[in-house]
């Protein structure tokens, strides 16, 4: 079975540019999560969706970050404009609905803002 | 809100020795608890989870963890370390409540295996 698919795997861009990260969750999973991982701050939850609706976006750093889930099989995380401090590995995860369900992670997008 | 504390950001053990990674949680009610492993340049993979029932949970790759309510702990163990166990390990707790699928992760423990 296909797992969570993220693209691109690596992204290098200049400060001020728009960055779009993409995620395809596992088919049938109702919840989708975006995380950011850095050495300094560890793993941070940015936002999560349930049935395509944003439930909790309290982890989104600021207005430069936005996330959408137009349908059950696709989500995007956008940064505009990007800044060097946004450099991190961004993970997408999905899970079935329910508080005992484990999350399944993609392999991440390594983002470098120059 | 739930929280998780992982004692020791780095642990080194010799190949063949016991692996013990510590995790303590804070909660007024028994939560759901998870251990994940992250290999370099990969996402997190589920090792095991505790929901209800038996307090000793067995996972993949020979790992197990025991839920101890009196100690609010969920430590991860493996009797004999293998070189392939070198990775970062994360303990996580699930916020309770129907429809609330959020996980709160610990800061991680990097496990190094000494040949």
Instruction: Determine the pLDDT at residue B1.
Output: 67
Q: Does B99 have pLDDT greater than 60?
A: no
Closest Cβ opposite residue A99 in set B45, B95, B107: B95
Chain A residues with beta carbon closer than 8 angstroms to that of B48: none
- pLDDT for the residue numbered B110: 97
Question: What does residue B83 show for φ and ψ, rounded to 5 degrees?
Answer: -55, -35
pLDDT for B54? 84
Mean pLDDT taken over chain A: 94
Q: How many Cβ atoms are within 10 Å of B17's Cβ, its own excluded?
A: 14
Q: What is the dihedral of CA A104, A107, A110, B2, to 10 degrees?
A: 20
- Give the A:B interface size as CB pairs under 8 Å: 59
E strand residue ranges, A1-114: 5-7, 10-13, 19-24, 31-38, 42-50, 53-56, 65-71, 74-79, 88-95, 104-105, 109-113
| pLDDT of B87 above 80 | yes
User: What is the rounded average pLDDT of the residues B5-12?
Assistant: 94
pLDDT value for B75: 97
Which pLDDT score is estimated for A97?
A: 78
With a pLDDT cut of 70, the percent of chain B lying above it is 91
Chain A residue with CA closest to B52: the answer is A100
């Amino acid at each position: 079975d296909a797992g969570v698919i993220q693209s691109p795997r690596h992204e290098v861009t200049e400060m001020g540019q728009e960055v779009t990260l993409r995620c395809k969750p596992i088919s049938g999973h109702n919840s989708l999560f975006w995380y950011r991982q850095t050495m300094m701050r560890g793993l941070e939850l940015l936002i999560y969706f349930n049935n395509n609706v944003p439930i909790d976006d309290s982890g989104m750093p600021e207005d430069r970050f936005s996330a959408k889930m137009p349908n059950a099989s696709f989500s995007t995380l956008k940064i505009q404009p990007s800044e060097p401090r946004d450099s991190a590995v961004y993970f997408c995860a999905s899970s079935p609905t329910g508080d005992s369900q484990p999350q399944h992670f993609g392999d991440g997008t390594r983002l470098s803002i120059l | 809100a739930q929280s998780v504390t992982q004692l020791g950001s780095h642990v080194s053990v010799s190949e063949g020795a016991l692996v013990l990674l510590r995790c303590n949680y804070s909660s007024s009610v028994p939560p759901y608890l998870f251990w994940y492993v992250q290999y370099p340049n990969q996402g997190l993979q589920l090792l095991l989870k505790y929901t209800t029932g038996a307090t000793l949970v067995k996972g993949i790759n020979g790992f197990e963890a025991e839920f101890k309510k009196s100690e609010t702990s969920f430590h991860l163990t493996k009797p004999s370390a293998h070189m392939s166990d070198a990775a970062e390990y994360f303990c996580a707790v699930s916020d309770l409540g129907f429809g609330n699928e959020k996980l709160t992760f610990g800061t991680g423990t990097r496990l190094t295996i000494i040949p």
